[in-house]
Amino acid sequence: MRPPDPRAERTRSSALASARELLVEQGLAGLTHGAVAARSGVSRATLYRHWPEPADLVCDAVAWHIEAVRPEPTGDLRADLLAELSATHAMLHEPVMEQAMRVIIERAGVDPRFAEVKVSLHRSGTGAVRAILADAIARAELPAELDIDLAVDQLHGPLFFRRLVAHRTFDLDYVRRVIDQFLSSHRPEIQRPQGHS
Amino acid sequence: MRPPDPRAERTRSSALASARELLVEQGLAGLTHGAVAARSGVSRATLYRHWPEPADLVCDAVAWHIEAVRPEPTGDLRADLLAELSATHAMLHEPVMEQAMRVIIERAGVDPRFAEVKVSLHRSGTGAVRAILADAIARAELPAELDIDLAVDQLHGPLFFRRLVAHRTFDLDYVRRVIDQFLSSHRPEIQRPQGHS
């Protein structure tokens, strides 16, 4: 494998930074090859070579946003889940990211390209939580038989449901309660913070 | 208050039945006043009087679907949750209802009429679970301090997240596990079915 070409990396970063700005300023409708070329100075030909369809740019731009706000895990299960889901909380309350997620959910139902985008975003968006849970299992802080897919749904699901389906905002106290109830159902020996007996 | 006029009720039922058929056959795009009039025989003028905008028809048609598949509660907490979330499971796997939900989630982000529709659907869609939980609290089967809003998110959230965000299907065994883990976190004295210690 060749090492990455630094100039190609710079071009890619510049294009994605512009794509991300456009997504935040104008939503998906503004994220076209022409607009990214005009803002980044990267040629349309290069953009089309890297990202043949707008859905590819959307995917990388949103994935870049997910990476940019990703906290470093510390090895403290509760603190790491809280940091990660706080980033999800921030994304669900950032107007354009929120709308981008709504659009991707809708388009994925009818457009296979967007369905791929969504699968890819779901993978990168939940990857950190999967890693945190796997590490906690390795440290014997969670049961070895934990179903990580189900755990991801139990942690992310309430947040997405409240913001995108119930159409309500929520605060970090809500995030803490989702995490604490998740932990209490899998680590019953630990004192419950909610006082449920 | 006057008793409902039987003829007006019949007109309303006939229009909504046609609207529901159109929604299932053609999605939201096919649910227009003209198409409902043609199918139901109810005049456009009457339709516009009852449902001034397409969003009103969408709301009533989806709400009608929610009511049509709603099971009767029996007073058995786990069985009632399972029946109710099985109906949600069915809806999330019925292609047009699923796509209708995707469209409503997207449109609600930009169109206040759809935001109202979504709030109303969320209320009717989660009302049965709220009632089941409130009854269980009244029977002292769940703690009096249970946060019913959070509980609704914990029960519905994983299902919506898995189908609409992770873009995966799921079976009734998944629904049972979501319910059992929810119950085990709120009723820790009861034997866990998953074998988590």
Which site among B185, B186, B194, B197 would you substitute to test the A interface, given the most A Cβ atoms closer than 10 Å to its Cβ?
A: B185
Cβ(A99)–Cβ(B110) below 8 Å: yes
Question: Chain A contact for B120, CB < 8 A?
Answer: no
Q: What is the CA radius of gyration of chain A?
A: 19
Q: Is the pLDDT of residue A195 over 70?
A: no
Q: What is the pLDDT of residues A58-69, one digit of tens each?
A: 777 777 777 777
Two tokens, residue A34? 């022409």
B1-53 carries CATH number 3.40.50.300? no
Domain with CATH 1.10.10.60 in chain B: 1-53
Query: Amino acid identity, residue A170?
Result: F
Taking an 8 Å cut-off on Cβ atoms, the answer to whether A178 and B154 are in contact is yes
Q: Which residues of chain A are within 8 Å of residue B120 when distances are taken between CB atoms?
A: none
Class of domain A1-52: mainly alpha
Lowest mean pLDDT: which of A157-161, A193-197, B140-144? A193-197
Cβ(B110)–Cβ(B154) below 8 Å: no
Query: Amino acid identity, residue A115?
Result: A
**pLDDT at residue A44, as a whole number:** 94
Query: Residue A40 and residue A14: Cα distance in Å, rounded?
Result: 6
Cβ(A161)–Cβ(B157) below 8 Å: yes
ipTM higher than threshold 0.90: no
**pLDDT at residue A188, as a whole number:** 55
Q: Is the pLDDT of residue B109 over 90?
A: no
Query: Residue A60 and residue A65: Cα distance in Å, rounded?
Result: 8
Q: Which residues of chain A are within 8 Å of residue B194 when distances are taken between CB atoms?
A: 145
Nearest residue to B17 via CA among B42, B40, B47 = B40
How sure is the predictor about A28, in pLDDT bands with cuts at 50, 70 and 90? low
Closest residue in B to A104 (Cα–Cα): B106
Q: Which residues of chain B are within 8 Å of residue A197 when distances are taken between CB atoms?
A: 143
Taking an 8 Å cut-off on Cβ atoms, the answer to whether B156 and A161 are in contact is yes
Distance from CA of B166 to the nearest CA of A (A): 6
Q: Which residues of chain B are within 8 Å of residue A146 when distances are taken between CB atoms?
A: 196
Domain with CATH 1.10.10.60 in chain A: 1-52
**pLDDT at residue A191, as a whole number:** 45
CATH topology of domain B69-197: Tetracycline Repressor; domain 2 (1.10.357)
Domain with CATH 1.10.357.10 in chain B: 69-197
